[in-house]
Structure 1
Amino acid sequence: MSNVLESAEQSCDATEAPCSAIETILSPRVADLGGFSVRRLLPTAKRKMVGPWIFFDEMGPADFPAGEGINVRPHPHIGIATVTYLFEGEILHRDSLGSLQPIRPGDINLMVAGSGITHSERERREITESDHRLHGLQLWLALPEAHEETDPGFHHYPGNDIPAIEVNGVPVRVMMGSAYGVTSPVRQFSETLYLEATLEAGQTLELPQAAERAVYVARGALTAHGSELPAHSMTVFAPEAGVSVTATEDTRIALIGGEPVGRRFIEWNFVSSRQDRIDQARDDWRAGRFARVVGDEVEFIPY
């Protein structure tokens, strides 16, 4: 989706013992996009990325009456791979490669922008004909420099292909990377971690280690090392072993992390290690030099 918001954050005092495992607690900036709320956690003014992850939005939950729904017109990307994951509802993905793929809860859509791609996100008529709900996450991975100009691509992974395990009674799905002894089939370009877990009140989950990692509370609330982590907060943890979170009510979390890929510039929907590459992409979009979305060629989002 297109870049529309910024985030706010607060810092945990790492000199205090209860907070030693916590580097930063981020709070979202929320906007209502015509009955559809978006919470943005990354990037922020002080925390640009977590590992390779440079963008993190929670979409909804939003309830749409019949005749309404998600309707994101064609727009471009470079230098990233987008990851779309739904808790509820359905989105119809189209792109300039000719991909046409509905994404449903549990699936993963991985769109590799690389040297440049255009896509749209709408809903099928069968969905918009009745009342419906949408809730999910939209994330961007910054590609390593060696892959920033790779050929664009699109990969769909059905929910049944994503490893699901229990860790001390906590259901966990490993969407990208390796954790708890299992590895996701989802393509990665650098060391990347993305998982979700659902904890019942009182359950504790020890977090997998990563060079950088953060936990987003999509629903419920947690405590971790003496700090309260409320719904819709993102907590960046230090890369030490033995860090765990405990649910104070029934809770759903998403964990992201991995190895940093270096400094990135971000402007609108463009990400690159080079500002001049972003300038070129901006000029290309304004001049109509990006390929059009197959089957969705008329509309577009202006720069």
Structure 2
Amino acid sequence: MAILQLIEPEVKDLGGFTARRSLPYLNRQMVGPFIFFDHLGPSVLPPNRGIDVRPHPHINLATVTYLFNGALMHRDSLGTVQSIQPGEVNWMTAGKGIVHSERSPDYDRHNEASIHGIQTWVALPVEYEETDPSFTHYPAETLPTWEENGAVIKLIVGQTRFYTSPVKVFSPILYLDVALSANAHFTVPNGYSERAVYSVTEGLKINGELLEPYRFAILEAGYEIKVSAVAAAQCIIIGGEPVGTRYKWWNFVSSRAERIEQAKADWRDRRFASLPDETEFIPLPEVVTEANPFS
């Protein structure tokens, strides 16, 4: 048996572009430390209609943004202003609290623009939940990339084979972008107790079993898993070690329910740090059924 659980993501319209959410899911809160997994797009934004995610808060987690196409501009309460382009990584450690916005760059707004990528949230181990907030940008050329059996693999975060990503992490984690040519194959690293494969495109098989596009396959622990392609295809592989149960409310994640309540009060009463040169913000919702990175 190769696939322990197969998830069909929930599709959301986020105002001109789509997001497919695989985590959290019924009976599956996390894979390793990954607590949110969103596939953004592929979508085309018409001229003069960009993405505008107003300032909003996070605690006790890290956000990881990775794009296949398009661009976003990140701003945060530390004073960071950083664009992200395809193949690059933005890692933001919320720790004891941070506020950020994500918007289309000015240079993209007047023309038709695309957006396509993956946004994940990583729960921090308990001992690091209240660490100081930070932000680091990693250019594409700093990420290890290699070829194997017709597949081109980019190590976004973590460690595998003889490769280590420069992205600073707080617990064992794996995050790979794998592009396969027709008849190529790749063996999923087996050094992590929890692993999953997400099919960005069609044309993929897992141990010979066809995987439809936009599917999140939780893999059986301990098994050798081979991803192969019947045509040019792409997938994301994630994994890692569990960090324990987490509470979730809106954009807040923590191991302690009372910490969530504190963060709600802090945001309601405007005690979080603000962003330089931005006056907009997303008010605290009265009722939340799920967290949403884009609300």
Q: TM-score range by the shorter chain?
A: over 0.9
Which structure 2 residue ranges, 5 or more long, are not aligned? Answer: 285-295
User: Quick one: which of 11, 22, 25 aligns to 2:6?
Assistant: 25
Partners of 1:121 and 1:241 in 2: how far apart?
39
Q: Which contiguous aligned blocks of 4+ residues in structure 1 show a shift greater than 6 angstroms?
A: none
Q: TM-score scaled to structure 2, two decimals?
A: 0.94
Which runs of structure 2 are paired with 1:1-303 in the superposition (5 Å)? 20-209=1-190, 210-296=192-278, 298-303=279-284
Q: 2:266 is paired with a residue of what secondary structure? A: helix
Task: Report deviation, 1:246.
Answer: 1.4
Task: Report deviation, 1:241.
Answer: 4.2
Q: Is the 8 A contact 1:167 1:180 kept in 2?
A: no
Paired amino acid for 2:64: V
Paired amino acid for 1:94: R
Which 10-residue stretch deviates more, 133-142 or 216-225? 216-225
Which 10-residue stretch deviates more, 212-221 or 241-250? 241-250
Which 10-residue stretch deviates more, 28-37 or 187-196? 28-37
Partners of 2:21 and 2:257 in 1: how far apart?
23
Q: Is the 8 A contact 1:21 1:240 kept in 2?
A: no
Partners of 2:230 and 2:23 in 1: how far apart?
25
Cα deviation 1:194-216 (Å, max 9, x = unaligned): 01110122211111111101011
Q: Is the 8 A contact 2:96 2:131 kept in 1?
A: yes
Q: Is the 8 A contact 2:2 2:223 kept in 1?
A: no
Q: TM-score scaled to structure 1, two decimals?
A: 0.91
Number of equivalenced pairs: 283
Which 10-residue stretch deviates more, 196-205 or 53-62? 196-205
Task: Report deviation, 1:226.
Answer: 4.7
Partners of 2:180 and 2:277 in 1: how far apart?
41
Paired amino acid for 1:229: L
Q: 2:200 is paired with a residue of what secondary structure? A: strand
Partners of 1:247 and 1:169 in 2: how far apart?
10
Query: Quick one: percent identity of the two aligned structures?
Result: 47
Q: Is the 8 A contact 2:150 2:185 kept in 1?
A: no
Q: Is the 8 A contact 2:150 2:181 kept in 1?
A: no
Partners of 1:275 and 1:207 in 2: how far apart?
35
- What value does the CA root-mean-square deviation take over the aligned residues? 1.0
Q: 2:64 is paired with a residue of what secondary structure? A: strand
Q: 1:219 is paired with a residue of what secondary structure? A: coil
Partners of 1:112 and 1:171 in 2: how far apart?
28
2:288 aligned partner:
none
Which structure 1 residue ranges, 5 or more long, are not aligned? Answer: 1-19
